[in-house]
Amino acid sequence: MRSRALVASLGAALLLAACGDAPAPETAPKSEAAPVRTAPAESVQVTDAVRAVGVLTPRDELRLSFKVGGVIETMAVEAGDSVRAGQTLAVLKRAEVDAAVSQATEGVEKARRDLERARQLRADEVATQEQVEDLTTAYNVARANLQAAQFNARFARIEAPSDGVVLQRLARASELVQGGQPVLVLGSTDSGWIVRVGLADRDAVRVNLGDAAVIAFDAFPGRPFEGRVTRIGSSADPFTGTFEVEIEVAPGGARFARGLVAKVEIALQGAANGAAQTLVPVTALVEANGPAATVYVLDAAEGVARRRQVTVGPIVGERVVIVAGLEPGEQVVTDGAAWLTDGRAVRVVGGPADAPG
């Protein structure tokens, strides 16, 4: 009967709390103290910053292709290979392009002979001036066709336009490809590396070109990289609704690779950085409605938890700024707070075996 009465009283207390009419504080017997964990409200120098997660990529990604179609003879690189400017990456079988050059060369030679013959006949007044002009045009056209064939022949091979890394190989030897069809994607390392992040509109409008950033990679634990904002998108992505922001980052000797996940913290210019703020773990909040929130504060003298209304600010990592309602050093309930009522007796535990139920 006693346990039923206790359950009933707790249910009534929770119902009153949900309605915003908290019961008067009362101390429960020590044997019924609820196990909780606590954490202190800390005064911390907080830097106003925007945090996001992005992906590392070379600034310039070049999609390389042949000028003309044909059958690939050799592919000299694989995805992930480092290449130097001018290095041959792929070559077409040259039978077709060489035949086109030969045909255009013969066409020029024939047009030249026809034009010379017409000029001689014109000198003997056998050919007309119009015929000479027509053959002159044909000769010029034949020369242009030869130049085009020679140009296509030069681009029947792909050479690296700059130092970089092969990001993708989209074709293999013996495959038939069309002119302009990408066969390699090259990341140019000459132009540097960037991290692309998507920011919500409320954060994108606070970021400015040149803002300093700190980038962390799971691939390089404990090693922060410095960066700066170099581009801010002027329109939102139609699918995600976020604004793309690019942060330039220097490898500093690290072996960067496309696709590394980056955690970015952008320090905002002109913000009141370095001001002391009171922070508590986010798990201490049991209710929140806009800036208004509720926490439970440990009353060590009475051994109870007191319900308190606070005003919250921005979230900083896994903690939240308390603007008003809490003093540094006060202990707030983190684990087990969801089951408390104002004035409930509590027992502070610390080990994993004593985790609140």
pLDDT in tens, 104-119: 999 999 999 999 998 9
Q: pLDDT value at position 144?
A: 94
Q: What is the pTM of this model?
A: 0.51
Angle in degrees, CA 11, 13, 16, rounded to 5? 110
- The encoded tokens of residue 209 equal 């070109």
Contact 258, 167 (CB under 8 A): yes
Q: Is 284 helix (H, G, I), strand (E, B) or coil?
A: helix
- Nearest CA to 25 out of 240, 333, 324, 297 is that of 297
Instruction: Give the pairing of strands 34-40 and 344-348.
Output: parallel
Contact 70, 177 (CB under 8 A): yes
Distance of CA 172 to the CA centre of its chain: 30
Q: pLDDT value at position 46?
A: 64
Q: What does residue 32 show for φ and ψ, rounded to 5 degrees? A: -105, 15
Please report which confidence band the pLDDT of residue 32 belongs to, taking 50, 70 and 90 as the band edges: confident
Q: Which domains does the chain show, CATH number per domain?
A: 21-46+274-354 (2.40.420.20), 49-59+184-267 (2.40.30.170), 95-154 (1.10.287.470)
pLDDT in tens, 49-90: 788 999 998 888 889 999 888 999 999 999 888 889 899 999
**Percent of residues, the chain, with pLDDT higher than 90:** 40
Q: Once rounded to an integer, what is the mean pLDDT over residues 275-280?
A: 82
- Nearest CA to 265 out of 214, 314, 229, 219 is that of 214
pLDDT averaged over the chain? Answer: 83
Write the single-letter amino acid at 288.
A
**Percent of residues, the chain, with pLDDT higher than 70:** 86
